């Protein structure tokens, strides 16, 4: 029997162990997509207890606690931080086979030097140990980032954001990790939302452009795009229901925009036509700016209306959608290719059944402007577990260029989530190491080093064009 989560955790053969410990383990982390609050980095937040840094905003944990029958007061309610932690401790011992069990214990090992097992019996011990450790200055937000060997972070930022905290961080010579904005214009696109006109008013104010037409909106976005670029942004991100392609003439889009401005309700077809026009416009701008376009899709959000009304969005009530038409995705990319304005693009579907479709679409739009110009993103959200990561990499290897893959992202609001990169790297090294052990790839350590370090870090440095050195 193997020891619980020892140095060779998830590494099932000698080659896997060698690849991880020699090439992946010490390689830096480039976090090109996350939801960390830049204000907490700028202010170097100190956490009073483990619940604050661990359970606040973590809808992964919240979902599992609900699955264990825990009352909502101990999850998002008014229970004390200690009570919430103890309830999580009771639950995590039941999380066999769930990545939450592994993430939890990797975080306890790497940040708190705790090698035991968290459960209801050890809850008090772990609570006291972690809280004592959190008193150290090295455990503030910036210290956790440095401890994690992170070189660069891209946050998630709305076009109306001031980016004041990014500037504050950039101007601070005492902190050498780059914290850059990432452009997330969902609110500018989602014309069907009840508060859309209110959002346009805010965008008009910050851009200084009165927004009465779709052309006005594009001009306002152009101004904000250039501002984001001046702040070091070279990454965009979109949260889409799916990648639609329902083209319409400019006059039709202007009529749809005017209809919405008048307060009328749009048809579903009008909504899709508008969003298509929006995405084509921003896609061309990303090409102009040499930005990377990230498309996250395949999620049906806020399914529990009762809880949504009580708690709001991003509280653990989303699910996978199986309506992700690959034909429209291909048509959208093709529309940008027609004018030679297709930017570097990363595709993430929440539905793992889309892996093969994405793998075949990638090959239709690759060119010499970048290695693996069109990428399949890492196994996302409900798929960032052992099976999901393996399946994504096997599919990408089978149908595309795994060696050009930009690897893992954090996609988290927690400063302790960087262990997910270690988790991913162990799974990757085990997969590739097993291929070598099975004689499916040669025992060529020079080539293997290049592949492992590439997927772990170097590919992302080169693909995004960040001001970083490869390793």
d(CA 389, CA 381): 11
- Residue 394 is inside which H or E element, if any? helix 386-399
Q: Which residues face 92 on adjacent strands?
A: none
Contacts by 302-309, CB closer than 8 A, 24 or more apart: none
pTM above 0.85, yes or no: yes
DSSP state of 78: S
Which structural domains are found in the chain, ordered by start? Answer: 46-138 (1.10.2020.10), 147-464 (3.20.20.140)
**The predicted structure's pLDDT at residue 281:** 98
**The predicted structure's pLDDT at residue 56:** 86
**The predicted structure's pLDDT at residue 446:** 98
d(CA 21, CA 8): 9
Provide the percentage of residues in the chain whose pLDDT is more than 90.
99
| Digit-coded pLDDT (tens) for 15-70 | 999 999 999 999 999 999 999 999 999 999 999 999 999 998 899 999 999 999 99
d(CA 144, CA 415): 6
d(CA 236, CA 238): 7
Q: Round the CA-based radius of gyration of the chain to a whole number and report it.
A: 23
Q: Which residues face 294 on adjacent strands?
A: 237, 346
**H-only helix segments in 43-140:** 50-54, 59-67, 81-92, 99-112, 123-133
The segments of the chain whose pLDDT lies below 50 read none
Q: What values do phi and psi take at 445, rounded to 5?
A: -70, -30
The DSSP line for 310-356 is HH-SSSS--EE-----HHHHHHHHHHHHTTT-PPEEEEEES-GGGHH
d(CA 129, CA 316): 29
Q: What values do phi and psi take at 178, rounded to 5?
A: -75, 135
**H-only helix segments in 28-80:** 38-42, 50-54, 59-67
SS3 96: coil
Torsion sign across C-alpha atoms 423, 425, 430, 432: positive
Torsion sign across C-alpha atoms 222, 291, 335, 380: negative
Q: What values do phi and psi take at 451, rounded to 5?
A: -70, -50
**Which of 85, 88, 64 has its CA nearest to residue 131?**
85
If 0-12 CB within 10 Å is exposed, 13-18 middle and 19+ buried, where does residue 340 land? exposed
Asked if residue 44 lies in contact with residue 142, where contact means CB atoms within 8 angstroms, the answer is yes
CA 364 → CA 282, 328, 359, distances in Å?
21, 14, 10
Quick one: how far is CA 89 from the chain centroid? 26
Pairing mode, strands 292-297 and 150-154: unpaired
Asked if residue 242 lies in contact with residue 325, where contact means CB atoms within 8 angstroms, the answer is yes
CA 228 → CA 145, 210, 217, 303, 363, distances in Å?
23, 20, 16, 33, 31
Report the residue count for the chain: 471
Q: Which residues face 235 on adjacent strands?
A: 292
């Amino acid at each position: 029997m193997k020891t619980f989560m020892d140095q060779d955790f998830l590494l099932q053969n000698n080659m896997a162990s060698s690849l991880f410990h020699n090439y992946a383990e010490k390689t830096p982390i480039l976090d090109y997509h996350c939801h960390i609050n830049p204000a907490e980095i700028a202010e170097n937040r100190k956490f009073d207890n483990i619940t604050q840094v661990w359970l606040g905003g973590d809808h992964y944990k919240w979902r599992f606690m609900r699955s264990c029958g825990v009352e909502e007061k101990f999850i998002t309610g008014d229970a004390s931080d200690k009570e919430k932690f103890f309830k999580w401790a009771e639950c995590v011992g039941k999380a066999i086979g769930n990545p939450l069990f592994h993430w939890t214990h990797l975080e306890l090992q790497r940040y708190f030097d705790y090698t035991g097992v968290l459960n209801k019996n050890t809850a008090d011990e772990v609570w006291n140990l972690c809280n004592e450790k959190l008193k150290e200055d090295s455990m503030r937000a910036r210290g956790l980032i440095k401890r994690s060997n992170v070189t660069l972070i891209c946050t998630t930022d709305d076009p109306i954001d001031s980016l004041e905290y990014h500037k504050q961080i950039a101007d601070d010579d005492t902190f050498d990790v780059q914290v850059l904005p990432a452009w997330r214009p969902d609110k500018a696109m989602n014309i069907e939302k009840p508060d859309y006109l209110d959002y346009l008013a805010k965008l008009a104010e910050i851009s200084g452009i009165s927004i009465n037409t779709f052309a006005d909106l594009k001009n306002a976005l152009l101004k904000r795009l250039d501002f984001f670029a001046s702040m070091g942004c070279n990454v965009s991100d979109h949260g889409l229901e799916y990648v639609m392609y329902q083209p319409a003439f400019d006059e039709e889009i202007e009529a749809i925009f005017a209809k919405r401005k008048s307060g009328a309700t749009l048809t579903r077809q009008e909504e899709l036509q508008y969003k298509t026009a929006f995405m084509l416009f921003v896609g061309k701008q990303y090409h102009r700016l040499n930005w990377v376009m990230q498309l996250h899709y395949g999620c049906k959000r806020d399914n529990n209306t009762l809880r949504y009304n009580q708690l709001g969005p991003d509280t653990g009530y989303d699910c996978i959608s199986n309506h992700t038409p690959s034909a429209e995705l291909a048509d959208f990319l093709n529309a940008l290719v027609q004018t030679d304005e297709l930017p570097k693009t990363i595709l993430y579907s929440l539905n793992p059944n889309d892996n093969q479709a994405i793998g075949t679409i990638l090959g239709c739009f690759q060119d010499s402007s970048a290695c693996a110009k069109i990428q399949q993103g890492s196994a996302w959200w409900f798929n960032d577990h052992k099976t999901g990561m393996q399946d994504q990499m096997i599919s990408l290897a089978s149908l595309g260029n795994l060696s050009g893959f930009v690897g893992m992202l954090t996609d988290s609001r927690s400063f302790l989530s960087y262990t997910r990169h270690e988790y991913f790297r162990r799974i990757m090294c085990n997969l590739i190491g097993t291929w070598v052990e099975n004689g499916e790839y040669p025992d060529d350590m020079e080539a293997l080093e290049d592949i492992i370090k590439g997927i772990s870090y170097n590919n992302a440095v080169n693909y995004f064009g960040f001001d970083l050195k490869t390793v």
